[in-house]
Structure 1
C-alpha cells in the first residue's frame, strides 16, 4: 500500500520529480512551503511528492507514537536507527519511485530528498540503488550505519550525486556525524557537495539558494 502524499506541480506535464521525506514527528506538509522559495522560473516543470511517514512508537521519546521513518532506539549514532524500520521505509520509498516511473518520470529524472530522519532514509535508499537517481539531497542528517554501511554497499549498486547540508550548531544530529557520513559516501564513490551553515537543526535561506544552484546543474 502506497504512503499517502502531499503533491505540488510547478507546471503542466512535469518532466522531473522530487520525492521529499520529512523529519521525525512532522508530516508531508512540513516542507511543502519550501517549493516557491526553491523553484526558479526557467526550470522544467517539476512534481514534488511529500509522503507522510507511518505512525509508530519512538523509543527515545518514551514510546510516544508519532510519524517516524524508523524507531530511534538510543543515542549511539552507529546503532540508533532500528534496522527493520529503515528497511520498511526504503521499500515504501522505492514504491513511490516506481509509481513515478509509471507516471512517466524515470529514475534518471527523479531526486530523493530528506531532512533529518527523512534524510537518513534518503541516503540509505540511495546506497542500495541499482539504477541511479538524478541525485540525493541530505539535509541535517546522517547515514545509518555510517562508514560500515557505505563500505558494505552491494556490488550492483550505483553512486549518485549528493547535496549534503548541515548546521554547525545542530544539537539533534551534531555536525560531526554529517561530516563523517559525507566522507563515507565519498569513499564509496558518491559525488558529494558538502555545505555547512551557522544554524541549528533547521533550514536557512542560504541553504535553499545553494540547493537551487545544485539543482540547476542537474536540470541542464
Structure 2
C-alpha cells in the first residue's frame, strides 16, 4: 500500500509539451511509474490505482496530447470497424516520440510505463522501441500495434525489458485475441513477460491491480 501520497496540480513538462500530475511519496522515490489513460479519458482516470501500489514509487499521471472532448483526450484517433481498429498511425507515432522526450527530460530513476487500453498501447510502443529508457511496460486491456514493428529495438536491447499483460475474458472493445497476439509477439522477441486473464470486460479490477503491484515489486528496486 502507498497511503502517504499526495495528488499534485496539473503541470507541463517543457521538453515534450505533455501535461501530467504527480502522485509523490514521502521521501525520495526509489522508482517511477508513468500511467497513461485510455481514449476519451484524462490523467485522473487511473489515480485510484495509486493507493494500491508499492511504497517508494513515484506515480506520474499523464494527459494525452489530443483533445477530443471537454475533458477527454487521446493518444491517437481510432475507429472501430468490423475488421478491427483503424488508427491514425502518424498520431500514434508522434505520441510515442513525445513520451520518449518526456522520459528523457525527467530525473533518472528506474522507470516503468503502463496504461489502460490506448494508454497501454502507447506504453508497449515506448517499451519495445526504447528499452534503454524503461525497465518494463504494463499493457492493461490493450494491444501491441502492428505498425510498431519498424521501431522495435534490437534483440539484445530488449533483454533488459519486462512486460505485464492483463486482459478481460469478456472484453468487447479489444477482444482477448489481442492479448494472445501480444503474448506471441513478445515470445518471438524473447521479452520476459507475465500474462494474466480476468473475468472482466474492458475495465480494471482489484485482482489485476494486486498482480500489477506484485510485478512492479519484481521489476523495480522498491522494497
Q: Output one character per residue of 1:101-141: Cα deviation in whole Å (capped at 9) or x when no partner.
A: xx232xxx100101100111111121211515211111000
Asked if 1:23 is matched to 2:34, the reply is: no
Counterpart in the other structure of 1:135: 136
Match of 2:62 among 51, 56, 79: 51
Judged with a 3 Å threshold, the aligned counterparts in structure 2 of structure 1 residues 29 and 157 are, in CA distance, closer, same or farther, namely farther
In structure 1, what is the Cα distance between the partners aligned to 2:61 and 2:206? 20
Shift of 1:181: 1.5
Which of 71, 88, 94 is equivalent to 1:88? 94
Structure 1: gaps spanning 5 or more residues: 59-63
Q: Structure 2: where are the runs of 5+ without partners?
A: 1-15
**Contact 2:111/2:133 (<8 A) preserved:** no
How many Å separate the matches in 2 of 1:213 and 1:154? 26
Partners of 1:152 and 1:128 in 2: CA distance: 5
CA distance in 2 between partners of 1:2 and 1:215 (Å):
27
Using the alignment, how far apart are the partners of 1:198 and 1:93 within structure 2?
Answer: 31
* Partner residue, 2:108: 104
1:173-212 aligned at under 5 Å gives the runs 173-212=174-213
Mapped to 1, the partners of 2:45 and 2:190 lie a distance apart of 32
Aligned residues: 203
CA 1:130–1:138 in 2, change beyond 3 Å: closer, same or farther? closer
Higher strand share: 2
Contact kept, 8 Å, 2:169 with 2:198, in 1: the verdict is yes
* SS of equivalent to 1:158: helix
For the 8 Å contact 1:56–1:71, the answer to whether it is kept is: no
Q: TM-score scaled to structure 1, two decimals? A: 0.83
How far has the Cα of 1:150 moved from its partner? Answer: 4.5
CA contact (8 A) 1:169 1:199 kept: yes
Q: Are the structure 2 counterparts of residues 74 and 171 from structure 1 closer, same or farther at C-alpha, using a change threshold of 3 Å?
A: closer
Corresponding residue of 1:155? 154
